Every structure is written in C-alpha cells, then in structure tokens.
Amino acid sequence: MRGKKREAIQSVYGYVAMDSDLQVFAGYSKGYPIWSSDMNDYKEINGDTHIHSLRRWFPEKQIELIKL
C-alpha cells in the first residue's frame, strides 16, 4: 500500500508557516513546535520535510506557506 502523495514544493527557503489562526511558526520549545501571534517571532521553514512535519504534528490546523 502506498502513502499519500505529498504536494510538490520546489523550494521552501524564504517562507514561513502560518496557521488558520494567523499564528506563525516560532521555533521549538523543549522539542515541541510553538506558534506565535507576533509576526516578528517567525522562524523560516528550512526544507519541504519541515512543513510536512508541522502538518503531522498539528493535523487539526490548516498550515500554509507564506513567502517572505
């Protein structure tokens, strides 16, 4: 059985992750991803596997990439 197809992301450098609550990915605290409502707290997404990992951690959130 094959897994789900991942959406094609050519290059994700220069992007941040934003969820449906308009919070940005702000890094990790004690190994757990954290979100912030302050846009200045953002951390850049560092690879296409990074966004897929965030979506697995938070299946209830709609997470999108936003170009800087």
9 lies in a domain? no
Note the pLDDT of residue 54.
92
pLDDT of residue 47: 78
Please write down the long-range contacts of 31-36, taking CB distance under 8 Å and 24 or more positions apart: 33/57, 33/58
Instruction: Please indicate, yes or no, if residue 5 is contained in any of the structural domains.
Output: no
β pairing state of 64-67 and 15-18? antiparallel
Domain containing 59 equals: 15-67
Q: Give tens-digit pLDDT for 18-64.
A: 999 999 999 999 989 999 999 999 999 887 888 899 999 999 999 99
Would residue 7 count as lying in a domain? no
Residue 1: pLDDT over 70: no
In a domain, 58, yes or no: yes
In a domain, 38, yes or no: yes
> Quick one: tokens of 48?
């296409």
This prediction's pTM: 0.75
DSSP 41: G
Number of domains in the chain: 1
6 lies in a domain?
Answer: no
